[in-house]
Structure 1
Amino acid sequence: MLFKTHISKNQIGLVFRRGDLARVLDPGNHTVLQRPFGRDELEVVDVLVTRFEHPLLDVLIEDAAILEQLEVVELLDHQRALVWKDGRLFEIVGPGRHAFWKRPYTLAVEVLDVSGAGALEHPRLDAILRHPTAPFFVHAVRVDANERVVFRRDGAQIGVRGPGLHAFWKSSAELKWTAIDLREQSLDVAGQEIMTKDRVTLRVNLLVTYRVVDVQSAVDVAADAGQALYRAAQLVLREAVGARELDDLLVDRNAVGSELEVELADRAAQLGLELTGLGVRDVILPGEMKTILNQVIEATKRAEANLIRRREETAAARSQANTAKLFESTPALRRMKELEALQEILKGTRATFVLGQDDVLGQLGRLIGAPPDEGDDP
């Protein structure tokens, strides 16, 4: 028996006889023979479904008529493929055998080697990473302008990357990365209780600012370079404060900061860091010591004030004695001083003076009741 069938332009027909491929039907009208002891089986395949998946794929691609219409991709364990359909990324595929229909679109396949560092560098990296299946195949890391990132695969360093978008193929190897911030950072070494040389317990706060200058050392020398610097700052602070008496520490905190900066600079360089600033921010005394110190300061200031007052009184007395001697030796100067005093007394009053032909100083003296000098007319 025969039966007729139609294969559309977007289809092909696969005729199976007793489970084996017997014919491949191209688009058009066809007649299929139906045998008395078992009919032929027709399977219609839609080529608009770009990926061709079939349980007999390995056998079907041996047929030249089918193989001519398929793009078959064979990938090893260290290979991945990008399948582009009409210029757009259609699929990312891993190891194995994959088949894609060549029509009715333009198909392109890129086979990439993921061995070695496994870095994915591609002019259309953004398009690849936007694909829904990209997270299953690729690690994507975006590095900011103020960062550097150190990448390691199975513990071995594979590179230091700067700003930008970086991608690595996923594999059985473990990929790790460490981001290093190149901006200035600060450590607040706070609440350090330390005993001075004269056995006074203080609480000291230290501020340290630094930045990373050697990315390689910053990740190789210590697990956390910032924490390593923090611990080193604690130790040098205890040594510096413990070697000084309280008065010395309070008088010159800047000297302590300078000493700490010198001692800490070498350790910072080993960690790939550079100190940009260091200073003792606070020195906090215990309550009873603060009271005693305030009393000492108060007594000292009071003594200084008394001393200054006595000096001023002595200077004033000495000035008055000198003035008196000067008036005694210079009568005219004394008269001028008297006139200044008289001017000050009469300021704001209305007074009338009648002066004769005698000595003006004598007449003014008589007006205010001063005794006449020798030689003046009575």
Structure 2
Amino acid sequence: MYTQRIKTEDDVSDDKASTCGTVLIFLSVVLVILTLPFSLFVCFKVVQEYERAVIFRLGRLMQGGAKGPGIFFILPCIDSYARVDLRTRTYDVPPQEVLTKDSVTVSVDAVVYYRVSNATVSIANVENAHHSTRLLAQTTLRNTMGTRHLHEILSERVSISGTMQLQLDEATDAWGIKVERVEIKDVRLPVQLQRAMAAEAEAAREARAKVIAAEGEQKASRALREASEVIGDSPAALQLRYLQTLSAISAEKNSTIVFPLPIDLITYFLKTNDAQTQKNAKAAAAAMAQQEKHEQQEEQRKQQEQQKRQQQKQPKSATVLYSDVKQPPKTQETSITVATLSEHQQSTAM
């Protein structure tokens, strides 16, 4: 009963308002006609392609929604309108001091991209849609960062930005605002915390470097062990390796290099040299003995000829026989010479 009475009173008030509005509209039209053509400058308005006009007549929204783009007509004194820009706007969120979930104070700033998606709702439902969206962006940034750990804020910026964009878009939908994108610009840490994190990161890098170096040494030692086994099975491979090393060193610099040779190779050369020296010494001794023998024969022949000439000059009674003449010993001198030559050859080989 009471509800029906209230509805009846509202209907009566609406009827009175509509009747009064009709009278005012009629008077406004008469005024426009009387003030022609000057009233045309007041009645016709133009909005741009990126704008919309929300018209109020006697304080109420006109049917049909926002007008534009282009030209539209209003009645003076009873109509009013509001221009709404539909272009995307950028809001740079000031740095916000946030206490993270692990009790670390950080300063975070972000950028919000938004636009008006419904001009009528943005005018009718909120006093200032842009200012309200900016305040909501600041509080959303603080609330979102306060539920994350520091390492999540530093490493998961993309996911945090997506979460903020969804929250803002859902909250501003009733204001006719569409949040297109949210980006976190910078996360500033305290100086002491930055130093501690830098020291921790450096220690982690050094540890990884040591592990990698140890693994490399282990692999190198295994390769060297396998190579030593192969070279040990083949002595010729070791000598070839020596020759390759000599070739590589000689190609870099023109200098004198003392390089150790294999003892087997040195022993082989020494044995070969001793055998050749002994052979040469024997040949030289034989040649000298042959020469000494030839000299002795020549000396004996000369003595015999001299004895014959003396016998021919002296008379037969005074003939002196030289058969008892002794020859100087030559054999001892020959043996001394051969021994001296052999010692000389051995000293040369050493």
TM range, normalised to the smaller chain? 0.5 to 0.7
CA deviation profile, 1:173-207 (whole Å, cap 9, x unmatched): 3x432222222222222211111112211111122
- The structure number with the bigger radius of gyration is 2
Which digits, 9 at most, give the CA deviation of each residue in 1:36-55, with x for residues without a partner?
xxxxxxxxxxxxxxxxxxxx
For the pair 1:168 / 2:74, whether they are aligned, the reply is yes
Question: Which structure's relative contact order is higher, taking Cα pairs within 8 Å and 6+ residues apart?
Answer: 2
Measure, in 2, the Cα distance between the counterparts of 1:261 and 1:152: 33
Equivalent position of 2:112 in the other structure: 208
- In the TM superposition, residue 167 of structure 1 has moved relative to its aligned partner by 4.0
- Partner AA of 1:147 in structure 2: E
Q: TM-score, normalised by structure 2?
A: 0.58
Q: After superposition, give the CA deviation of every residue in 1:74-110 in whole Å (9 maximum; x if it has no partner).
A: xx8333488xxxxxxxxx734xxxxxxxxxxxxxxx8
Hey, what's the Cα distance between the residues in 1 that align with 2:178 and 2:149?
30
CA distance in 2, matches of 1:250, 1:233: 20
Counterparts of residues 153-192 of structure 1 (less than 5 Å): 153-158=57-62, 159-171=65-77, 173=78, 175-192=79-96
Which of 211, 214, 221 is the equivalent residue of 1:310? 214
Residue 146 in structure 1 maps to residue 38 in structure 2 = no
Aligned counterparts of 2:240 and 2:131: Cα–Cα separation in 1: 81
Verify the 8 A CA contact 2:44 2:74 in the aligned structure 1.
Answer: yes
Q: What secondary structure, in the 3-state scheme, does the structure 2 residue paired with 1:188 have? A: strand
Structure 2 gaps, min length 5: 1-25, 273-350
1:276 aligns with 2:167: no
1:337 CA drift (Å): 3.0
Q: 1:273 to 1:313 in 2, by over 3 A?
A: same
Residue 347 (str. 1) matches residue 245 (str. 2)? no
SS at match of 2:27: coil
Specify the code of the residue in structure 2 equivalent to 1:269: D
Report what 1:93 is aligned to: 34
Task: Please give the alpha-carbon distance, in whole angstroms, between the structure 2 residues aligned to 1:276 and 1:303.
Answer: 44
Sequence identity (%): 25
SS at match of 1:279: strand
CA distance 1:139–1:338, shift in 2 (3 Å): farther
SS at match of 1:78: helix
CA 1:280/1:349 → structure 2, altered by over 3 Å: closer, same or farther?
Answer: closer
Q: Name the counterpart of 2:123.
A: 219
* Unpaired stretches in structure 1, ≥5 consecutive residues: 1-75, 83-91, 95-109, 111-127, 351-366
**Are the aligned partners of 2:165 and 2:180 in contact in 1 as well (CA < 8 Å)?**
no
Query: In the TM superposition, what whole-angstrom CA distance separates every residue of 1:241-279 from its partner, at most 9, and x where no partner exists?
Result: 111222222222222222222322311322223232112
The range that moved more, 191-200 or 273-282, is: 273-282
**In structure 1, what is the Cα distance between the partners aligned to 2:88 and 2:236?**
77
Map 1:46-195; keep pairs closer than 5 Å.
Answer: 77-80=27-30, 93-94=34-35, 133-134=38-39, 138-158=42-62, 159-171=65-77, 173=78, 175-195=79-99
Letter in 1 for 2:133: L
Q: 1:14-25, aligned counterparts within 5 Å?
A: none
Cα distance between partner residues in 2 of 1:286 and 1:176: 53
- Equivalent residue letter for 1:253: R
Q: Which has the higher strand share?
A: 1
2:238 maps to what in 1?
334
Structure 1 pair 287/141, CA: closer, same or farther in 2 (3 Å)? farther
Q: Runs of 4+ in structure 1 displaced over 4 angstroms?
A: 373-377
Map Cα deviations across residues 311-330 of structure 1 (whole Å, 9 max, x no partner). Answer: 33333333323322232234
Distance 1:202 1:226 in 2: 27
The secondary structure found in structure 1 opposite 2:181 is strand
Name the CA distance, whole Å, in 1 between partners of 2:187 and 2:136: 19
Whole-Å separation in 2 of the counterparts to 1:134 and 1:310: 92
In structure 1, distance between residues paired with 2:80 and 2:118: 19
Q: Which residue of the partner structure matches residue 240 of structure 1?
A: 144
The answer for the alignment partner of 2:263 in structure 1 is: 371
Equivalent in 170, 186, 192 of residue 288 of structure 1 = 192
CA contact (8 A) 2:49 2:68 kept: yes
Corresponding residue SS for 1:138: helix
Q: Distance in 2 between matches of 1:150 and 1:203?
A: 40
